[in-house]
Amino acid sequence: MGAGQSAGYSGASPEELSYVLAERFATKCFTPLELTHFKDNFFSRAAEQGGLRYWNEKTLSEILGIPDGSFSDADENPLDAGPVIFRMVSYLGAFPFQNIMAPSVLTFEAMVKVVVLLTERYGKVLRRGRKDRIKLLFGSLADVGKKDVRTIDASNKDEQSTAEEAGSSAVNSHAPGFSIDEPTNDDFEEDEDDDLALAALESLDAIEVFKLDHRVDRTVYETRISLDTFRRLLMLLLVIAPLKPLEPAQIYTADQSAERIEAIKKEADSILAAFSPEDIDGGISYRAFARTISTSLPYLFDPLTPLFERLLFSENLNLSQKQQREVQNEAQKDDIAEKTKDLPPPAPIMLSGSFESTILNPTLLSHMSFFLPSASPSLNLFRNGARLHPIFSTSAHGSSLTSFSHHVLTWQSASLLILQGAPEGEDEEIITIGAYLPQAWKSSSSTHGISTTQAPKALPCLFQLSPKHQVLPGNPSPTIEQKHNLPAAWFSTHSGIAIGCQIPQPSRSHQTHPSPHGAASLLIDVNLEYAELHVAPVGHDGVFLPSGNASPSDKPTKTRLDLYSLEIWGIVPDPSASASAPESGSSAVEAQRAKWEFEAREAERRRNINIKAEAGGSSQESARWLLETAGIIGDQGRPGGSV
């Protein structure tokens, strides 16, 4: 990669431009130390044929720490995502001419572009580059409907013949392009998301070459992603979702139990069900893919960033004796299993407390990390260092709203409500529903319930995890609650818990109940025995907006569940990121404990107060007034907050 830069490359071939772009990526997007490590990783493991150094699928999978596709039967290796990752990388290595050059042989230059694209480092060199990889990722996964495409064998069984082909002309090794038929999805403009490719060629003053390639780019709308391909990728992403930079993926991919694999498959199928039913039978279309990813799975591909950043660190450079390098590489595969035995377990995201969850598990947490931003809108649940603190559970604390109030009202930070149940009369299908509430539950002066208000930069969301993934985002309108009396979350000792419901004005003549409003609402009865989820395809005047996949022709639905378990988890942000927030992080845990201690002292003081007649009527009135003011007893002597 020593080609000199020039003022423009308008007369260069696509192969030459691709090479020069890789050189620019390498020098601008990596630090000198990262580039040194990357070169060592690549060339110490590269195969060679005809003077060409390249990686095959087995090499790529080994260094990434993912199953390498060595099993022919997917049932023997259920996390066999190696061929899928290899397909993606072979496509991205041809950027920005993937339509006429993909699949690419994985040379060093190709891998440079792959790492830059999958770790989103291209913003440093592309003037118009934006962080929207949806179309690029779709093209890398599409495997249905391609025409005249020569692919590298998925398991690379015949790698020698492939290398010979590549060795004859490294820069000319590519597949024939797609057909140039017109796109079938008219909802997307042909150049609506060509920003990455256009920016790459603008940076090289090579727009004319882009125009020649652009005529075949539109056929991406004709292709589809097969369900098997996407399911295998989803299973891998669910497993490695908590992966951190420089952390070996083997921590998560090794020694998966049959029970864990079954949970991963189930969660992957729930996510697959989110794509349009009309598209799902023949594979996932670009339209369904783009819409679903952008609206309800914005962080789905985040785990690929730390996975490929691993290539920028070489253990070889930390060895005191360089001659051990070849021996280490030869024994690497056999050594992986031994190494994983001694690897430290990943830090748990769920903190210890008064109960252990009967709902949340690692797979469910991974699923939620694909769309929950937690305290930071730009980072998912794992990336921002957040932890979950147990607040309330019906399994541990019972089904009393008194207990619910005691635990939830004392938590002064964001929280996560999650429940599981089954449709009335059915025990086989388990439905999991949740709500992200960015602010603390607070007492309401106008009602006997509890309400939350929306923070300017953090919106609530209502979601369903199974059997079908669905996200109903919060309404950004700052006046939505005041206009319609619509708190994000509310509860009353007379009517139960309401999420995204309209709260009627209190009445002395009759008892009032919250009512569903807008695109989505969740109601839970006073005994915490059943729940109702109301979803409508339209409605922009509620707390929650319609799902990104909703169509105006869809009918409103009401799902009534026998409630098995309800849990509230407090979100504890990373202490280093929340030092300036007095009511977040560990301070929320400390504040809760302080309030519990205060309540205990007040309860003890109450026992010592004699409100009997021997102190006189005035003393009795004063004592009762004191207890009512403190909220210890309610109107007419009823205990405050009881059902």
Note whether 307 and 366 are same-domain residues. Answer: no
* Confidence label for 311 from pLDDT (cuts 50, 70 and 90): very high
**Domain count within the chain:** 2
- Cβ-proximal residues to 456 (8 Å cutoff; 6+ apart), any chain: 478
Note whether 64 and 202 are same-domain residues. Answer: yes
Note whether 290 and 220 are same-domain residues. Answer: yes
465 assigned to some structural domain: yes
**Which range in 306-320, 390-404, 570-584 is most confidently predicted, on average pLDDT?**
390-404
167 assigned to some structural domain: no
Q: What is the pLDDT of residue 121?
A: 86
Q: What is the pLDDT of residue 87?
A: 94
Sign of CA dihedral 570, 571, 576, 577: negative
Note whether 305 and 395 are same-domain residues. Answer: no
> Which residue type, as a one-letter code, is found at position 147?
K
Confirm if 113 and 169 have CB atoms less than 8 A apart: no
Q: What is the pLDDT of residue 513?
A: 84
End-to-end CA gap in the chain: 73
- Cβ-proximal residues to 155 (8 Å cutoff; 6+ apart), any chain: 57, 69, 70, 72, 83
204 assigned to some structural domain: yes
Q: How far apart are CA 255 and CA 266, in angstroms?
A: 19
Q: What is the pLDDT of residue 633?
A: 55
588 assigned to some structural domain: no
Question: Residue 545: which domain range?
Answer: 362-444+455-576
CA atoms within 13 A on the CB side of 466: 23
pTM here is: 0.80
Burial annotation 415-437 (CB, 10 A radius, 16+ → b, else e): bbbbbbbeeeeeeeebbbbbbbb
Note whether 232 and 374 are same-domain residues. Answer: no
DSSP conformation class of 181:
P
Q: How far apart are CA 154 and CA 481, in angstroms?
A: 54
Q: Which residue has the higher pLDDT, 77 or 121?
A: 121
- Hey, is 488 helix, strand or coil? coil
DSSP 553-600: TSPPEEEEEEEEEEEEEEEE--GGG-TT-TTSTHHHHHHHHHHHHHHH
Burial annotation 569-584 (CB, 10 A radius, 16+ → b, else e): bbbbbbeebbeeeeeb
133 assigned to some structural domain: yes
pLDDT (mean) for 329-342: 46
The pLDDT tens digits for 432-487 are 999 999 888 876 544 445 555 444 467 899 999 999 999 999 998 877 766 668 88
308 assigned to some structural domain: yes
Note whether 271 and 403 are same-domain residues. Answer: no
The pLDDT tens digits for 555-591 are 899 999 999 999 999 988 776 554 444 444 457 777 7
DSSP conformation class of 177:
P
Note whether 208 and 140 are same-domain residues. Answer: yes
Note whether 493 and 394 are same-domain residues. Answer: yes
Identify the domain boundary among 312, 346, 380. Answer: 312
Note whether 368 and 307 are same-domain residues. Answer: no
Note whether 301 and 393 are same-domain residues. Answer: no
Phi, psi of 473 (to 5 degrees): -70, 160
Q: What is the pLDDT of residue 332?
A: 47
Note whether 307 and 372 are same-domain residues. Answer: no
198 assigned to some structural domain: yes
Q: What is the pLDDT of residue 168?
A: 41
Phi, psi of 489 (to 5 degrees): -145, 145
- Cβ-proximal residues to 72 (8 Å cutoff; 6+ apart), any chain: 155
- Identify whether 96 is preceded by a cis peptide bond (ω within 30 of 0): yes
Identify the domain boundary among 543, 576, 609. Answer: 576
Q: What is the pLDDT of residue 216?
A: 44
The pLDDT tens digits for 608-617 are 665 544 455 5
Average pLDDT, the chain: 76
Q: What is the pLDDT of residue 455?
A: 45
Q: How far apart are CA 392 and CA 42, in angstroms?
A: 50
421 assigned to some structural domain: yes
Confirm if 566 and 588 have CB atoms less than 8 A apart: no
Note whether 275 and 366 are same-domain residues. Answer: no
